[in-house]
Structure 1
Amino acid sequence: MKKRSEAEHSSSDKLTIERLMGLGGQSARKSHYPELVAKLEELEEERNRYKSIFEHAQHGIFQARLDSGLIAANPALAKICGYTDPQQLCNRVDSFANGLLFDPDEYPLLLQKLKLYGKLFGYETRLLRQDGSAVDVSLNVLLKTDDQDSLIEAFVADITERKKAQNKLKKLNEELEQRIEGRTGELVSLNQKLVCEINERSLIEQALKVARDTAEQANKSKDKYLAAASHDLLQPLNAARLLVSTLQERELAEENNHLVERIHMALEGAEELLSDLLDISRLDQKAVQPDLTSIPLDYLFRMLQVEFQPVAEQRSVSLRVLSSSLNIRTDMRLLMRVLRNFLSNAFRYTPAGRVVLGTRRRGDFLELQVWDTGPGIPEDKLEDIFREFQQIDHQYQTGRKGVGLGLAIVERIAGMLEHPISVSSEPGKGTMFSVLVPISTDPVQPMLQPQRLPQQDLSGHPILVIDNEPDILVSMQALLKQWDCEVCVATDADEAIESYLSKGVKPQLILADFHLNNGITGVEAVDQVRQYAGYDIPAAIITADRSPEGRKLFREWQLPVLNKPVKPGKLRALISHLLHLSEKADGSRTDES
């Protein structure tokens, strides 16, 4: 039987614990006991869940002291290391360095990294199996510290299959390299045999190669020569054309007028030949790139009508244009070249009657047709007309005879645009040329409709001409003075400013060549003169340059262009148009002020 003091002491301790747990009395114990039991059950379930995860994890998991053996390991790690159960593994492993790592010398480096970073992820090493072999693994290791010492907790993934795959791939690569080396040797041997065979027949083949290369080089040289020489050839031709036009507008003796007209026709023929040769050369070199846009067909047809109506009136031939409200997708400049050629040929070979420009819808395409009532083309000659320098001689041919390159150019342009062309003819009744273009549903910008403006009186208008060719300056000065213009000529912008603008001359128009001296362009010269003058003087570029880069630059600066050789009629029309726009702008500014 306990002594009273001991009983009292025991009872006192029990009461103290009960008070600390919140069970100070009978009623307290009854109220908190269910919660405590529930909490203990919850903790037990949580422990069992983590235990289940630990025991059934696919990857190995272990915990170890730095200087002693394993504290805990799961079955997956035991299986990786070749043990039947985790307890057997823990009993065999003295420490992480001795008994678990296959190479104990690796432990100092691993420990150094752990202490530096506190953790390692994807660390590849080898663990020691029960049978003394090694197994490749990837470790995720954490270094922790508790009351006793530092702990290592690690997750282990067996990467044996991955290593095997890597080794297999390496072996396959080595075998492949050996096979490639062997095959290369075979190919070298075969190539040597082939070289021997080729050398045996080299005499004949070399002769053929030299002949072919000579022909190709000659063709390339022709194209390059035409492209390079075109500018220099067109410059004197342009000067002569302007001078002849000046003489045509003067009152001369009848026999002199006849000679001037013959000179004019000769120059026109040379101009057409050079232009056609240049176009053929640029098309063959693929220097022309189409700029496909959506354009209204009615706008294109009206431009052609304005251009060819005077020709129809001069030849006493009726011109009828049947347009359409549809839009087409094409390069307007190149398509205009095709249709101009069709119309020019129609008027050339139609002494009387009519020429019709019309359309027919073909599904998603429009067939643009040019009909004439001329003598027609024999069926056996329909294919020949698209060859270079091929023409059909007709007794009814009117005007100057062509050079036979127009339809060859048309065929190349049509092929580049992917617009099929066709021709049909009935001798004695007429001919129809056509080109097939796709219909466009894309929106287009509204365009000003072309119209024939009355010729403007140019008397007294100061015009500045900038060109680095003295002959061109002389010719332009003679022609513009013939139109009673006040002409200022200069070889560059500096000379124009020094000789005219600095002395109070205010030109109303600038006509500038594109290629000037010292690499300066006419666009730069126009800009320099405008800056000095302090206002935007209307300007145009006159050039033999037909490159896409040049056209893009002129569009950016909104400068109209005339290609050399310049036709006086187009030059006067352009001057009248620019001066008319300038006067309208000045008038609107005056009204606003």
Structure 2
Amino acid sequence: MPVPSSNQLGVPDTNPNDHAALARRIAELEAENARLRKIRDALIVRVESGAAHKPAPYAAFEHSVVLAEQVRERTEALNQTMEELKTSNKALTRTREEAETSRQRLSDAIESIADGFVLFDHQHRLIQTNSRFRSYWRYTGEGVPPSGAHIDEVRQLAVASGLIVEEHSEPDSEGEVFLLSNQRWVQMTERPTREGGLVVLYSDITDIKNSEMARRIAALEESERWIRVVTDHVPALIAYVGADLTIQFCNQVYAAWYGRNGESPLGKNLASIHSPEMYQRLMPQMQEALSGQSVTFEFEEFGEQGQARYMLRSYVPNFGERGEIAGFFVLIRDVTDRRRTAEALEQAYDDLECRVEERTMALTELNTQLRQEINERNAAEARLRDAKLEAERANLSKTKFLAAVSHDLLQPLNAARLFTSALQEQSFGPRAEDLVRSVSTSLDDVEGLLGTLVDISKLDAGVIKPDVTAFDLRDLLNNIAREFRQMAMAEGLQLDFVGSSVIVESDSQLLARILRNFLTNAIRYTEEGRVLLGCRREADAVLLQVWDTGPGIPQNKLTEIFQEFKRVRKVGASADKGLGLGLAIVDKISRILKHEVSVSSIEGKGSVFSVRVPMGKLRPRLAVAAPDTHNLMNQDLSGAKIWVIDNDPAICQGMQVVLEGWGCQVVTAVSLADLERQLDPSKCLVDVVLADYHLDNDENGVNTVTAINGSRHSPVPVVMITANYTNELKQHIRELGYVLMNKPVKPLKLRSALNHILLSGTSVSSNG
């Protein structure tokens, strides 16, 4: 393995060009000295020879003395140069020794790195590796690449030896992802060195890949459950037939009647589920529906067991966005009993001449039965209407309930996050720390799923009110692009981003939710290619757009995709992805913000989703310096006196564990009365009060801390914690000068807020 240069190791090195220059200078001086000696000897010979025209003896002697002096001076210069060369050689020896020591230290340092490490010189030839990188080659028949191998040779050897099973290459991303022969996923990150070399790190991301797969499976299972909830309780035979006469949707009653040998009719053509005779009899009515006319008619059918039933069929055409016929809805009701009654009545009329009186009585009886049946049908329809109203009221009640109980739903999640944060600050060994990180990641997933459920419920209940302000798009777009670049890379996609610093009028959090749902959909349904996030300026608005190179959306589905639980199956895809709520949330949020959302698509080429946001103008306000998060996180909280008031004992315990782990002195209480039983709030020293907004017995944190500060000479800084996201409460907390943090509390943000309060002595506004 070649020894890296001292510059590569951060040690100053003597320039090799200086040695060469010294050597050339010495050679020139020696040559000149030789020429002078020859000239001296020639002059002496000439003076002594007594030839004609020779100078006077004294002049010749004088000239030789001058030459001798010049020789002496050149000799001294040569000796001085030799001394300087010796000094330089000694310095070079010391430098090499220091370089060797530094190289050994570097070797020890890179050996301790958990990731695979490779160092290349400025010619991209291999210099050094660590044992983790060399262990990757253990499962191949080839040895570890030798020192001096070019980076292209290393890559070719990794592919040829079977070390790399699968590769996701993204030229504009920060790294590449590989599946190795030991079934582990690694991400390669390259960083240039100062002298033009290259450092390559291989990080194991297998757990991230497995977690992503688990989330997808859970999403598919949840989607299937929702579909069953919607369809299993519909009493009629309902189906939707596309323009190609293929059944695209049917409920269980329809599937049970038209299923043959237990097979579902879903996805089959009507010609394959009906007999040829029945299909031809139905064709005129289907053609009428496909021409745009609603059709209702009775039809005799036979079930799988051969039972004859009369069905009342209704075909209602479905018009696409441009007025074209996309298909038709099918509603079928069993009217066998009514039809048989009518047939009996008809037969009674046929025999009227022979048995007028008898048939008249029978007719009267039949008419009575018919009126009774009509009354029963009217009563049944009334009951159905009542049941529908009751179901709508129950659904609205459920929606409002889910929106109202978000606090209770987030309480145990908040406590779990606090305990997990406390565990992450302890040292249990690599395996236990991985498990704790996995638990933390799972809590993030639960928080995301719960947030989606609560958001759709709050949107339905109308409890979310927009907080529209003027703000710069730059930070919002940069954060979203940074967040989704890793997700796109994990899917083997390229995420391009075109930023903008235009000022817009909107709710930044709700607008970010729209863009995140657009990007999530684009990445989820794009198998290969790229996704683009960018802006287009218009006269008085900005068009925020997400482009993809996915399979596209049929024109007759462009409006349907914004409905709840609606998805368009990709061509060749084994199963639909997602819950079908993402674009429904986008539609609801855009209506709240009054932002126009549009979509255009070309099948086989891709789609573009857009939201039009009006331009705004920043209003003048007092400049507030943003706290230095890095410095705040490094501040010591040891000795800080903190009171925690929360009606959930588990959260009190979790807060106490986290805060005491930071060196704080903590007192917890479930109410003001509980705090007063432990100490005197008017006299005891305290630095910060952490209070939950929702307390028991109709109490709230604002009233509690108001009572505490009212009994003291000077108010105590307050951090108000809540699961209530309403703008009214946010504004109220800001007016009181308290810090607002939303549940579940993120420990890093809590520590940053506490450090800022303790350093400045005042509260700062925060939305958690």
Query: Normalising to structure 2: TM-score of the pair?
Result: 0.42
What one-letter code is carried by the residue in structure 2 that aligns with 1:534?
A: H
Query: Which amino acid in 2 is paired with 1:210?
Result: D
> Quick one: structure 1 residues 447 and 312, their matched pair in 2 at CA, closer, same or farther if it must change by over 3 Å?
farther
Q: 1:72-112: per-residue Cα shift (whole Å, max 9, x none)?
A: xxxxxxxxxxxxxxxxxxxxxxxxxxxxxxxxxxxxxxxxx
1:364 equivalent to 2:540? Answer: yes
**Distance in 1 between the 2:754 and 2:569 partners?**
39
The one of 388, 398, 409 aligned to 1:212 = 388
The code of the aligned residue for 2:552 comes to: P
Deviation at 1:354, TM superposition (A): 9.1
Which residue in the other structure is 1:251 paired with?
427
Deviations 1:525-581, CA, capped at 9 Å, x for gaps: 222233334323322211112234423322321333222222333333333443444
Q: State the match for 1:477 in structure 2.
A: 656
Q: How many residues align?
A: 378
User: CA separation of 1:335/1:524 partners in 2, compared to 1, >3 Å: closer, same or farther?
Assistant: same
1:523 corresponds to 2:702 = yes
Counterpart in the other structure of 2:474: 301
Residue pair 2:502, 2:615 contacting (<8 A) in 1 also: no
Instruction: Rate the CA distance shift 1:535–1:409 in 2: closer, same or farther, 3 A.
Output: farther
Farther off after superposition, 533-542 or 463-472: 533-542
Structure possessing the higher relative contact order (Cα contacts under 8 Å, 6 or more residues apart): 1
Q: Distance in 2 between matches of 1:205 and 1:250?
A: 65
Which residues of 2 match residues 414-563 of structure 1 at below 5 A? 414-423=590-599, 433-440=609-616, 443=619, 445=621, 448=624, 453-454=629-630, 455-460=633-638, 461-496=640-675, 499-500=678-679, 505-563=684-742
CA distance in 2, matches of 1:215, 1:332: 35
Q: Please show how residues 120-519 of structure 1 align to structure 2 within 5 Å.
A: 202-293=378-469, 295-296=470-471, 298=472, 300-302=473-475, 305=478, 309=482, 322-326=499-503, 328-342=504-518, 358-370=534-546, 376=550, 378-380=552-554, 386-388=562-564, 405-423=581-599, 433-440=609-616, 443=619, 445=621, 448=624, 453-454=629-630, 455-460=633-638, 461-496=640-675, 499-500=678-679, 505-519=684-698
From the superposition, tell whether residues 529 and 428 of structure 1 become closer, same or farther in structure 2 (CA, over 3 Å): farther
Is residue 468–residue 505 contact of structure 2 (8 Å, CA) maintained in 1? yes
**In the alignment, is the contact (CA less than 8 A) between 2:528 and 2:550 conserved in 1?**
no
Q: CA deviation at 1:389?
A: 5.4
Q: CA deviation at 1:278?
A: 1.6
Residue 718 of structure 2 aligns to which amino acid in structure 1?
Answer: A
Q: Distance in 2 between matches of 1:483 and 1:501?
A: 25
Distance 1:262 1:292, change over 3 A: closer
Q: Structure 2 vs 1, CA of residues 337 and 556 (structure 1 numbering), >3 Å: closer, same or farther?
A: farther
1:15-59 CA-partner distances (Å, limit 9, x unpaired): xxxxxxxxxxxxxxxxxxxxxxxxxxxxxxxxxxxxxxxxxxxxx
The SS at the match of 2:634 is coil
TM-score normalized with structure 1 length: 0.54
What are the ranges of 5 or more consecutive residues in structure 2 without an aligned counterpart?
A: 1-371, 571-576
1:366 is paired with a residue whose SS is strand
Tell me which residue corresponds to 1:167: none
1:223 deviates by: 1.0
Q: Which amino acid aligns with 1:378?
A: G
Match of 1:517, SS state, is coil
Partner-residue secondary structure (3-state), 1:464: strand
CA distance in 2, matches of 1:342, 1:516: 38
- 1:129-152 Cα distance to aligned partner (Å, 9 max, x none): xxxxxxxxxxxxxxxxxxxxxxxx
| CA shift for structure 1 position 332 | 3.8
Task: Tell me: CA distance 1:204–1:414, structure 2 relative to 1, closer, same or farther (3 Å).
Answer: same
Structure 2 CA distance for aligned equivalents of residues 254 and 349 of structure 1: 36
1:10-89 to 2 correspondence within 5 Å? none
Maintained 8 Å contact 1:375/1:427: no
CA–CA distance in structure 2, aligned partners of residues 280 and 332 of structure 1: 18
On the 8 A contact 2:474/2:502 being kept in 1, the answer is: no
- What's the CA shift for 1:491? 1.9
Sequence identity, in percent? 41
Q: CA distance change for structure 1 residues 434 and 561 in 2, over 3 Å: closer, same or farther?
A: farther
Task: Tell me the distance in 1 between the aligned counterparts of 2:617 and 2:565.
Answer: 39
The alignment partner of 2:738 has SS state of coil
Query: Given the superposition, is the C-alpha separation of residues 200 and 352 from structure 1 closer, same or farther in structure 2, using an over 3 Å criterion?
Result: closer
Judge conservation of contact 1:322–1:356 (CA < 8 Å) in 2: no
Q: Partners in 2 of 1:544 and 1:287 — Cα distance?
A: 13
Larger radius of gyration: 1
- In structure 2, relative to structure 1, the CA distance for the partners of 1:357 and 1:490 (3 Å cut) is farther
Q: Does the 8 Å contact 2:723/2:743 carry over to 1?
A: yes
SS in 2 for 1:440: coil
Give, in whole Å, the separation in 2 of the partners of 1:519 and 1:421.
42
Equivalent position SS for 2:629? coil
Deviation at 1:474, TM superposition (A): 0.7
Distance 1:495-1:276 versus aligned 2 partners, 3 A rule: same
* 1:388–1:405 Cα contact (<8 Å) kept: yes
Which sits farther off after the overlay, 544-553 or 345-354? 345-354
